Amino acid sequence: MTDIGLWGVPLAILGGAIRVSTPFIFVSIGEALTERSGRINLGLEGTLVFGAMSGYAVAFHSDSAWLGVLAAAFFGLLFGLFHGFVCKLPKVNDIAIGIALMLLGTGLAFFFGKPYVQPVAPDLPSIPFGFWSDIPQVEAALRINVLFILGIVLAVAMAFMFRATRIGLIVRVVGDSADAARAMGINIDLVRLLSTGVGGALAGVAGAYLSLYYPGSWNEGISSGQGLMAVALVIFARWNPVNCFWAALLFGGAGALGPALQSVGVTQGYYLFYAAPYVLTLGLLIATSSTRRAMSSAPGELSITK
């Protein structure tokens, strides 16, 4: 291998951003859709962990990583639909239901995931975009998983959907003003149900990425709060899927900072470096929130910004 010294840090951050960000991309664009329809789903952390477990289990039994991803999306869809269904009942608090489903999702995942801690399931494939380089570090950083690319495509497609399609308009109207949507004859509950369902399915895929690609195995410590962070991320990405993608990249990079700095000899206070993504999110939240509901492009029906 080539000794690239300090250049390793930016390269590691780039590589880390690509490797670590994918779950954030999926959870956050799914949540962007859900929140645009006027709902918040805090339970995506549980959905993600269950997706990681079910994806790994199915991939192990079927010997196909893609079947694992499908299974994770399916179970994520179920969690999302359940959330969407119960939140339409009167007096049911969507934030609290999210917390409950987070607990239930992780509990179920740990319960059924016990036999899958040890087995090795097949990995998702990656594409070597770094083939042009002789430097192994560059090659490694640019070995990009298919799901990452799918995430970019989805983010762009969803942004287009919100801006220029009828479905996007319907979701936005439902999220901005239930009264206006009702006047237009839109079935609000159905729109929110489907938006939450799709959000859940995407969170399930995010989980499958964790267990089937990076770090690529199932255990109870697989998620370090990615599902929750992604929800926070949506807020300062202003509910824009493309911004969600950039924000997710930023987060992945921040997560890679700690180990990269240690590898070039910055060894003091690594716990504090490891907290960088959380501090960054909090800082951005403080900077972008506002007491008056003047937060631009915030869906009017969203409970957390009301």
Partner 1 sequence: MPHLFSADRRQFLMTSAGMAGLAVAASLLPAGLARAAGLTVGFIYVGPKDDYGYNQAHAEGAKAVKQIAGVTVIEEELVPETVDVQKTMESMINFDGATLLFPTSFGYFDPHILTVAPKYPEIRFEHCGGLWSEGMPANTGSYFGYIGMGQYLNGIAAGHATKTKKIGFVAAKPIPQVLLNINSFLLGARSVDPEITCQVIFTGEWSLAVKEAEATNALADQGCDVVTCHVDGPKVVMETGAGRGMYLCGYHANQSPLAPDMYLTGAEWNWAQVYTDMVNTTIAGGTIPNFVRGGLAEGFVKMSPLGPAVSDAARNQFEATQAEILKGGYAVIKGPLKDNKGNVIAAGGEAYAEDDVKLESMDYLVEGVVGSTS
Partner 2 sequence: MSTETTGLVLAAPSRAWVETVARRSEGVALPLGALLIGFLAFSVFLAVLGKSPVAFFGYVYQAGFGTEFSWSNTLSRAAPLLLAALCVALPARLGLVVIGGEGAIVLGGVAAGALAMSLPGLPGPIGILMMGLGAMIAGGAWIGAIGAMRYYRGVNETISSLLMAYIAIALMNHLVEGPFRDPASLNKPSTAPLPDAYRIGELPFIDVHWGLAAGILACVLCWVLIERTTWGFAARIVGGNVRAAEVQGLPTGVLMVGFTALGGACAGLAGMFEVAAIHGSANASLAAGYGYTAILIAFLARHNALAVIPVAVLFAGLEASSGLIQRRMELPDATIAVLEGLVFVAILLSETLTGRMRLFQPELWRRTS
Q: Which residues bind partner 1 (CB under 8 A)?
A: 1-4, 8, 11-12, 15-16, 19-20, 89, 114, 117-118, 120, 136-137, 140-141, 210, 214-217, 219-222, 224, 255-256, 258-260, 262-265, 267-268, 270-271, 274
Neighbours of 112 (CB within 10 A): 13
Cβ burial, residue 300 (10 Å; 0-12/13-18/19+): middle
Sign of CA dihedral 229, 230, 234, 237: positive
For the bound state, the minimum distance from the C-beta of residue 160 to partner 1, rounded and expressed in Å, comes to 31
Q: Which is nearer to partner 2, 98 or 241 (CB)?
A: 98
Q: How far apart are CA 180 and CA 177, in angstroms?
A: 5
- Comparing CA positions, the residue from 248, 238, 208, 231 lying closest to residue 109 is 208
Of these partners, partner 1, partner 2, none, which one is at the site of residue 137 (CB under 5 to 8 Å by kind)?
partner 1
- Largest alpha-carbon pair distance within the chain? 65
**Shorter beta-carbon distance to partner 2: residue 54 or 137:** 54
At 289, list the tokens. Answer: 């929130």
Rounded to a whole number of angstroms, the minimum distance from the CB of residue 242 to partner 2 is 22
**305 lines the binding site for partner 2 (CB under 8 A):** yes
- If one counts every other C-beta atom within 10 angstroms of the C-beta of residue 262, the result is 14
Comparing C-alpha atoms, which of 88, 55, 92, 302 is closest to residue 203? 55
Token pair, residue 97, equals 């239901």
Binding partner selected for residue 225 from partner 2, partner 1, none, CB under the kind-specific 5 to 8 Å limit: partner 2
Distance separating alpha carbons of residues 186 and 177, to the nearest angstrom:
11
* Residue 4 touches which member of partner 2, partner 1, none, C-beta under 5-8 Å by kind: partner 1
Paired tokens of 250: 């930023």
Instruction: Using the minimum distance from each CB to partner 1, give the nearer residue, 41 or 137.
Output: 137
**Is residue 296 involved in binding partner 2 (CB under 8 A)?**
no
Q: Which of residues 80-139 bind partner 2 (CB under 8 A)?
A: 86, 89-93, 95-97, 99-101, 103-111, 114
Give me the residue label for tokens 């594409």. Answer: 127
As given in the structure block, the two tokens for residue 211 are 């267990």
Give, as ranges, the residues between 217 and 276 that touch partner 2 (CB under 8 A): 225, 228-229, 231-232, 235, 269, 271-272, 274-275
Residues that bind partner 2 (CB under 8 A): 42, 86, 89-93, 95-97, 99-101, 103-111, 114, 225, 228-229, 231-232, 235, 269, 271-272, 274-275, 278-279, 281-282, 285-286, 289-293, 295, 304-305
